[in-house]
């Protein structure tokens, strides 16, 4: 790499894709270039820097590329991430995922390749790293910071559950899409006088179910922070349906929601490198139970159910206004810190103000809904009170 006057900045995107990642990459790149930096995009999250080969004769284009204004302008208004992503965790790399040229050295079932990551970053001449991700991606960024590397991080996740910030890139578009799709599907629910069950993202935190419900998209929601009674939910939804002139009602179900006395529902036992098994199926189970129990609260008559998992439909497509503006601001905040020589920080939104906090907040606590303050556990819906001085999206763990 030919070093420019001020140095080289690397960007990577890890974990699930969300709308707003490309605007963030664009904002960082354009500002950095204008400030005199070279910008390198690391491909496929942490995988690109792990799999890179330190040989100029080797084609590493699948692992990194130099970013220009032309490149980022073409994708800056679109969804997803043109740098691609992965759920690679270099400190916990399975033997089968160790790159071919490193297999003779790393032979354990689980391997820590942090030494390789640091060595490759040094070979590229990277001065600052800007990882954009959720708590999994950023937890490894904390590790690199503790190893002495200069890191300025940006929070991204549909679940909005990265600690230390009120807002993560992707959340607003997720909420917008959830509301729109619920409103689309309610016409079918009303036409056939059914219960409508929509499974949404939210492994440990129920923000993506709570906020759309609070906005009027659903009658009820069940979330990971509170194990719910299925009979209570059935009774409430049947009552909501009875009160609705079109004879239907709607519930949003977080993917991590649990029946009282039960546990999370997984598709299979396979786990990613961050220890997470793929969730899936709680919406189907809720639908089945609602159908089974509905006669008890509907004068002996069964009520049919429409069940839909929104999933990747809320991930795909272009970002909304907030997920176009916030990534732009976050990118410039990161450059402000780098220009001051500051690192080890996470750029955030707190109480409507842009700020930054120590990066290790990501691993120091969890961010979930304050049940006592925001969620009515008997009515299975948000409280509608005490809005004064709350942030834009109302709920935060701080």
**334: helix, strand or coil:** helix
Instruction: Enumerate long-range contacts of 297-303, CB under 8 Å, 24 or more apart.
Output: 297/234, 297/235, 297/238, 297/239, 298/238, 303/193, 303/194, 303/195, 303/238, 303/241
Name every residue whose Cβ is closer than 8 Å to that of residue 91 and which is 6 or more positions away in sequence: 112, 113, 114, 140, 143
Q: How far is CA 241 from CA 208, 290, 303, in A?
A: 23, 13, 10
- Closest among 165, 109, 117, 168 to 141, alpha carbons compared: 117
User: Rounded to an integer, what distance in angstroms lies between the CA atom of residue 146 and that of residue 357?
Assistant: 15
Question: Exposed (0-12), middle (13-18) or buried (19+): which is 384, by Cβ within 10 Å?
Answer: exposed
User: Rounded to an integer, what distance in angstroms lies between the CA atom of residue 185 and that of residue 197?
Assistant: 10
- Closest among 232, 189, 258 to 220, alpha carbons compared: 232
In contact, 31 and 329? CB cutoff 8 Å:
no
For the CA atoms of 384, 390, 394, 398, the dihedral, rounded to the nearest 10 degrees, stands at -120
Alpha carbon 187 to its chain centroid, in Å, reads 29
Bridge partners of residue 266, in order along the sequence: 279
Asked about 355 being catalytic, the answer comes back as no
- Tell the residue number behind the tokens 């990066």, with chain if given: 359
The active-site residue, picked from 159, 166, 240, 323, is: 159
- Closest among 162, 202, 171 to 361, alpha carbons compared: 162
> C-alpha angle with apex 15: 10 to 18, nearest 5 degrees?
90
> C-alpha angle with apex 291: 195 to 198, nearest 5 degrees?
40
Cα four-point dihedral sign 107, 113, 119, 120: positive
Active-site residue numbers?
159
């Amino acid at each position: 790499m030919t070093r420019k006057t001020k140095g080289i900045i690397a960007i990577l995107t890890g974990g699930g894709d969300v709308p707003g990642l490309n605007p963030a990459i664009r904002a960082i790149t354009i500002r950095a270039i204008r400030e005199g930096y070279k910008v390198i995009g690391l491909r496929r999250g942490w995988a690109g820097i792990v799999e890179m080969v330190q040989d100029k004769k080797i084609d590493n284009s699948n692992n990194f590329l130099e970013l220009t204004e032309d490149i980022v302008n073409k994708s800056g208004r679109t969804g997803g991430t043109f740098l691609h992503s992965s759920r690679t965790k270099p400190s916990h790399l399975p033997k089968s995922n160790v790159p071919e040229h490193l297999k003779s050295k790393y032979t354990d079932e689980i391997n820590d390749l942090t030494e390789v990551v640091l060595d490759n970053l040094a070979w590229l001449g990277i001065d600052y790293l800007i990882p954009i991700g959720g708590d999994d991606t950023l937890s490894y960024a904390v590790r690199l910071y503790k190893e002495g590397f200069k890191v300025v991080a940006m929070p991204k996740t549909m679940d909005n559950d990265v600690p230390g910030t009120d807002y993560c890139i992707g959340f607003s578009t997720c909420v917008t899409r959830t509301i729109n799709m619920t409103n689309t599907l309610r016409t079918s629910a009303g036409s056939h006088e059914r219960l409508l069950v929509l499974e949404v993202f939210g492994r440990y935190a129920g923000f993506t179910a709570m906020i759309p419900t609070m906005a009027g998209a659903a009658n009820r929601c069940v979330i990971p922070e509170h194990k719910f009674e299925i009979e209570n939910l059935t009774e409430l939804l049947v009552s909501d349906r009875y009160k609705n002139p079109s004879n239907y009602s709607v519930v949003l179900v977080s993917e991590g929601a649990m029946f009282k006395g039960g546990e999370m529902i997984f598709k299979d036992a396979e786990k990613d490198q961050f220890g997470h098994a793929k969730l899936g199926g709680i919406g189907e189970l809720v639908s089945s139970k609602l159908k089974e129990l509905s006669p008890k609260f509907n004068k002996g008559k069964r009520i049919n159910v429409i069940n839909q998992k929104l999933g990747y439909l809320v991930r795909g497509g272009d970002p909304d206004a907030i997920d176009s503006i916030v990534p732009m601001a976050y990118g410039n905040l990161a450059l402000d810190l780098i220009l001051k020589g500051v690192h080890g920080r996470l750029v955030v939104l707190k109480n409507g103000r842009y700020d930054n906090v120590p990066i290790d907040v990501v691993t120091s606590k969890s961010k979930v809904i304050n049940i006592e303050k925001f969620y009515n556990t008997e009515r299975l819906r948000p409280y509608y009170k005490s809005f004064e001085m709350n942030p834009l999206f109302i709920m935060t763990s701080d």
